[in-house]
Amino acid sequence: MDRRRMLKRGAAVMAAPLLPLLFAAGSRASGLTLNGATPSFASVEQGRAVLGADDDWVAATGAFQRAATLGSATPVSREQLRRFCADAVLPWTGPLEARWSQALTLLAPRFKALNVPLPRELLLIHSNGRDAANAPYTRANAVVLPPMPDDTRHDAFVLAHEIFHVASRGAPALATKLYKLIGFEPTGPLQWPAEWVERRIANPDATHDRHLMRTAVDGRPVALMPLLVAARTELKPGETVFNVLEVRLLEVAPGGVTLPVRRDGELAWHATARVPDYLARLGGNTGYIFHPEETMADNFAMLAIGARAPNPGLLKQVESVLLANVT
């Protein structure tokens, strides 16, 4: 569930050749393509334009998340957040370009075989990690990569997971078909509960909350939507938002605008442990349970690198949906 778990890996190290130290401008990833997409290592200027953009993620952030990202004890505006994220961009080095080019090379044949829809250009941005507590993530058509331990196979997993977000962002109908495999159906966008807005932790990979799961709680039929909320709004030294995020399954009333359900004036929500059917329907292949987008991205990454999974049947279903997609 913690995104930083993606950074915990083995000791395998890829030997990268010594290339020129810095690339002042963006460069293509050794002529590689991913099913028609051209991956490029973003220049600092390109990266700053993406991470400093006024986009859906910036608009969705709550006051706590903005302050926690900057490590500030005082309120942080959206404009300050944008500048901070832009300032996190670093130039690529030759060894880093070689490292991530190798991961792209491993993925290229699988992306073509799986018919993954991608934009014409795919940017890779090098970040100092302060913009997202050292976790990789995406914005627009870009994958943002902080410093991480070097591990070729896991590099490929990370890239596959993150590039899935770029693909689904550009193909929402396909994403909905994939979400259906794990029990989610589309609904109108959620009207966020007013009392949770400031504690909201917005996920840059999936800023939308427009899919729900129908299940039962205590024998009562409900429609649930998983949301990320800060359990507390004061961080201890060394903590980040990952230390306080809480997955809350909010009961919702579907519609053109999906509304939160209240009982006796209080929001009706449940911890994931209280709804075993929710966890069961996610398929059991990953601990990423806070949004169907993240659950599916991990399943896709397993499929892309040929990893063994506790539920291989779900990966086969993902493959079938991708192959049936006509672009």
What whole-number distance in Å separates Cα of residue 4 and Cα of residue 9? 11
123 and 184 inside one domain = no
Buried-exposed string 25-60: b where 16+ CB fall within 10 A, e elsewhere: ebeebeebbbbebbbbbbbbebbbbbbbbeeebbeb
Q: Is 89 exposed, middle or buried (0-12, 13-18, 19+ CB in 10 A)?
A: buried
CB atoms within 10 A of CB 219: 5
Question: Please, are residues 229 and 201 in contact by the beta-carbon 8 Å criterion?
Answer: yes
More confident residue, 243 or 19: 243
pLDDT reported for residue 327: 61
pLDDT single digits (tens) 159-170: 999 999 999 999
Q: Is 187 found in the same domain as 142?
A: no
Same structural domain for residues 28 and 105? Answer: yes
Nearest to 183 by CA among 217, 213, 141, 153: 213
Please tell me the predicted confidence (pLDDT) of residue 7: 34
Q: Are residues 91 and 35 in the same domain?
A: yes
Per-residue pLDDT at 117: 96
Q: pLDDT confidence of 67, banded at 50, 70, 90? A: very high
The full 3-state SS of the chain, as one line of letters, equals CCHHHHHCCCCCCCCCCCCCCECCCCEECCCCCECCEEEEECCHHHHHHHHCCCCHHHHHCCHHHHHHHHCCCCCCCHHHHHHHHHHCEECCEHHHHHHHHHHHHHHHHHHHHCCCCCCCEEEEEEECCHHHCCCCEEECCEEEECCCCCCHHHHHHHHHHHHHHHHHHHCHHHHHHHHHCCCEEECCCECCCHHHHHHECCCCCCCCCCEEEEEEECCEEEEEEEEEEECCCCCCCCCCHHHCEEEEEEEEECCCCEEECEECCEECEEEHHHCHHHHHHCCCCCCCCCCHHHHHHHHHHHHHHCCCCCCHHHHHHHHHHHHHCCC
Phi and psi, residue 53, nearest 5°: -70, 150
Tokens at 16, concatenated: 């990268």
Same domain, 141 and 241: no
Domain end position, chosen among 171, 188, 204: 171
What tens digit of pLDDT does each residue of 178-199 get? 999 999 999 999 999 999 999 9
Residue after which a domain boundary falls, among 116, 138, 171: 171
One domain, residues 276 and 315: yes
Q: Angle at which helices 78-87 and 63-70 pack, to 10 degrees?
A: 30
The whole-number pLDDT of residue 176 equals: 98
Clarify whether residues 116 and 208 are in a common domain: no
Q: 226 lies in which domain range?
A: 174-324
Residues 161 and 215 in one domain: no
HSE on the CB side for 289, CA within 13 Å?
Answer: 23
Statement to judge: residues 160 and 190 lie in one domain: no
pLDDT in tens, 99-152: 999 999 999 999 999 999 999 999 999 999 999 999 999 999 999 999 999 888
- What are the Cα distances from residue 240, in Å, to 66, 134, 201, 257? 11, 10, 11, 32
Check residue 29 and give its pLDDT.
65
Whether residue 183 is found in the same domain as residue 36: no
CA distances from 300 to 35, 42, 52, 119, 245 (A): 15, 25, 29, 18, 24
pLDDT tens per residue, range 280-294:
999 999 999 999 999
Domain tally, the chain: 2
CA dihedral 243, 279, 211, 319 (to 10 degrees): 110
Residue 207 shares a structural domain with residue 142: no
Considering 171, 189, 211, which residue would you say is the last residue of a domain? 171
Domain check: are 7 and 145 in the same one?
yes
- CA dist., res. 230 & res. 199, Å (int): 5
pTM for the structure as a whole: 0.91
Q: How much is the pLDDT for 254?
A: 97
Percentage of the chain with pLDDT > 90?
Answer: 88
Average pLDDT, the chain: 91
Model confidence over 2-55: pLDDT tens digits? Answer: 444 433 332 222 222 222 323 334 677 667 899 999 999 999 999 999 999 999
